[in-house]
Amino acid sequence: MADAPALHRALVDALVRRGAITDSRVEAAFRAVPRHLFLPRVPLEEVYRDQAIPTKTIDGEAVSSSSQPEIMATMLEQLGLEPGLRVLEIGAGTGYNAALMAHVVGETGTLVTMDIDDDIVDGARAHLDAAGQSRVRVVLGDGGLGYPADAPYDRIILTVGAWDVAPAWWAQLRPGGRLVLPLTVGGSQKTVAFVHAGDHLVSASIKDCVFMRLRGAFAGPPTRVALGDTPDLHLYVRDPARIDPVAAYALFTGPPVDIPTGIHVIGHEVYGGLILWIALREPGFCWLEAIGPTADTQPVPHLFAVPGKFRSAPGVFDGARAGFCMRPPGDSVPAGAEPEPRSFELHIRTFGEDGDTGWRLREHARAWAGAGRPGAAGLRIRALPIDVGYTPGAHEQVVEKRWSRLVLDWPAQTGRDGSR
């Protein structure tokens, strides 16, 4: 363990240098709490890389992890912690995030963390005890129900991706309190810091993120369709029951046509902005994804990838035709491994005879670019109870969920489609 302090210090220094940490309280917490105490069986070199580390899988799918330190720091800064606050965390994981928050709220604060699996709860409790944070209450339960015994809370944070804002989170949040969660919005996830504003929640900060999904009674609707004869290739759509997996696989393994868009982008612009733009306008929005050692050999256009681990691309699928965003043919640099963001010309890979879907995607890309490439920056999201009527304004987009209605707009922009 002789290298642990140096590796720990180097990781935090890098987070500060990149601007992921700007709050002195968050920095102090990261410096005070060693990550390796929460990942005791993981090699130190891996523990102190800025990466997520899966800690539990079910049927080959990761369901719990130690999140990437950079997004942890981002969300803790969004949360706005102070000494003495009452905090509920949904998704205990290893207990590391709870320990960081407990360091900030201090002995006068209250920190409750919960998870849906007893083995995860037991592990988090043991790790917190080893780190000297036995004051943190670790409870077993469905996160969608919150933890009413210690409510109301000044802050609630989710470390799992939520499809909707569950009623319990709203009810257990103190007026003026803050809810931070990775929320599915238009085909991608945004970590949204919502402030309780009486009859609705309004975003104070929005960042891009990727988290595994919330499990339990309040999980989102099923979206995954298995393709082919291996468990490695999946199509994610809004209505899986309408998909013929055999026909879809035949389409995606057929001859493609690649269309240049003339638009140069960086990977995070596509994820943070273009995907939302397309998903709000195309009912057939989808993701095609391959995971595992065979990912590079699957028929997934190359956009987001780590060689030998995963490959994914967003697009539109209508049953007979499909189109997906991708990098230029022959571009082998994976977005997930780029040392620095690199611009590339966005291409569309089409499947099907007339390529109509692909041409529509090209026009979406051009319209998005012409509108100033709207993304998380400048976006405002308001969450209203679904049973409260609402008439959207001329410049607003509405996404209806089960329990809430999300109203999206870019206040600094004047056009409904994000045009200035």
Query: What residues are annotated to the active site?
Result: 67
Q: Identify whether the C-beta of residue 161 lies closer than 8 Å to the C-beta of residue 214.
A: yes
Number of H helices, E strands in the chain: 11, 20
* Contact yes or no for 405/384 (Cβ under 8 A): yes
Report the sign of the C-alpha dihedral through residues 265, 317, 211, 181, in that order.
Answer: positive
Rounded to whole angstroms, what are the CA distances from 12 to 81, 133, 158?
Answer: 19, 20, 22
Tell me the C-alpha distance between 418 and 420, whole Å. 6
Q: For tokens 């195309």, what's the residue?
A: 282
Q: How far apart are CA 119 and CA 57, in angstroms?
A: 12
Angle between helices 96-105 and 24-32 (to 10 degrees): 130
φ, ψ dihedrals at 410, nearest 5°: -115, 95
Tokens of 341: 């963001």
User: What angle separates helix 96-105 from helix 69-79, to the nearest 10 degrees?
Assistant: 30
CA 241 to chain centre: 25
What stretches of 141-271 adopt beta strand conformation (E)? 153-158, 173-185, 188-196, 201-209, 224-227, 233-236, 256-265
